[in-house]
Structure 1
Amino acid sequence: MMRTSIFKGERISLTALHKEDLPHIVKWHQDATFLRLLDAVAAKPKTLQEIEKWYENNRNSNNGYLFGIRDHEEQLLGYVELDGILWNQRNGWLSIAIGADHQGKGLGKEAMQLLLRFAFDELNLHRVQLTVFENNDRAIRLYESLGFTKEGAHREFLYRDGKNYDMFLYGLLRREWDQTK
């Protein structure tokens, strides 16, 4: 049986992120909608220097991985992170960001499938987890379609536009991932 590539999918690939990619990421970090779904901190445009610092911290990490999401023409579409890995517990945190021009095309699902394959099959992790705000319906549908289980909530964690939102914790175990293959 031929082994499926851990980095290449039908429409996208996970690749190294390069310094030349950072100006694209800076553009995404100028978009308030993008920033408000990505993080609970106040939406604030990021400078190239701030993105460079984030990039360097990831490159020098012993407990995380950062990949660019690219189409097969090598255009950067977004990025995925697997970080906060506790090696002795075989647990890690996932996050994904897709540039606004590329959202809603199913690319996030394929990117997450590749990242999960890397996490479970290459790194031999037992559990991966993530958080998502309750007002991010698209992301919640994505995570649940991949087999993630809602494990809890930080009630009224986020306050945006005059309303409180919960932050949900989702987890996926290796055996659950194996059942989706």
Structure 2
Amino acid sequence: MTSAWVGELVRLRGVEPEDWESFQRFDANTGDMRRADRVHPPRSGARQREWAQKTALGTPENDTMMLGVESLAEAALVGMLATDAVDYRAGRFTYGISIGTDHKGRGYATEAVRLLLNFMFGERRFHKCEASVWGFNEASIALHRKLGFTEEGRLRDHEFFAGRHHDVVLFGMTAAEFAARHPYPREI
């Protein structure tokens, strides 16, 4: 039997308490923090441990989840993936992914997003996934285009960090668009 959460390169899994050190390393890289969200003040090891413990013991609610992205080759946490803004009435959700700088360019993000969308569209019946990408993040823009997302708009000078305002590029993909490019597994 295979798992819907395991691909050829990565496994999506819950956050574990011992992941705190990996998350602290990710947070030490300002570029990683900006690409994932924004720059936060440094957390102590105790605070990072507490966050990892709380996240590990939390129960996903309303299809909002935070998952670790683990490299199968290294058996190491290489990033995280989260769903948010779930709207059951409209059948849509948003997601975000961040892969640590040391692990970029290996196909981890591509496979992790495919696994997530396969679950959200194929098991949870969502109709549409939306994503927001910083306008300067060419790698993420390329990832979304490669996966089949459609650029739906650009919010000009929408976010402020690093001393200036930045555009946000909006992407969307429907379940039918995903299935046409990435057929669901045949195994039952």
Which TM class, normalised by the smaller chain length? 0.7 to 0.9
Contact in 2 for aligned 1:30/1:46 (Cα 8 Å): no
Aligned to 2:42: 45
**Percent identity between the two aligned chains:** 27
d(CA) in 2 for partners of 1:53 and 1:66?
13
- Amino acid in structure 1 at the alignment position of 2:115: L
1:126-165 correspondence runs (5 A): 126-161=127-162, 163-165=164-166
CA distance in 1, matches of 2:67, 2:159: 28
Q: CA deviation at 1:128?
A: 0.7
**What is residue 115 of structure 1 aligned with on the other side?**
116
Shift of 1:91: 0.9
Query: What's the counterpart of residue 66 of structure 1?
Result: 66
Q: Please name the residue that 1:9 is paired with.
A: 7
Taking structure 1 as reference, are residues 180 and 158 closer, same or farther at Cα in structure 2, changes over 3 Å only? same
CA deviation vs aligned residue, 1:108-129 (integer Å, no higher than 9, x gap): 1111111111111111110111
Q: Runs of 5+ in structure 1 lacking a partner?
A: none
* TM-score relative to the length of structure 1: 0.86
Cα–Cα, structure 1 residues 87 and 22, in superposed 2: closer, same or farther, change >3 Å? Answer: farther
Match of 1:35 in 2: 33
The C-alpha deviation readout for 1:54-78, integer Å capped at 9, x for no partner, is 7269635334022211122531111
Structure 2 length-normalised TM: 0.83
Distance in 1 between residues matched to 2:24 and 2:171, nearest whole Å: 28
Q: What's the counterpart of residue 185 of structure 2? A: none
- Aligned residue for 1:174? 175
Q: Which runs of 5 or more residues in structure 2 are unaligned?
A: 183-188
> Alignment length, in residue pairs?
178
Name the amino acid aligned to 1:45. Answer: P
Could you tell which deviates more after superposition, 87-96 or 127-136? 87-96
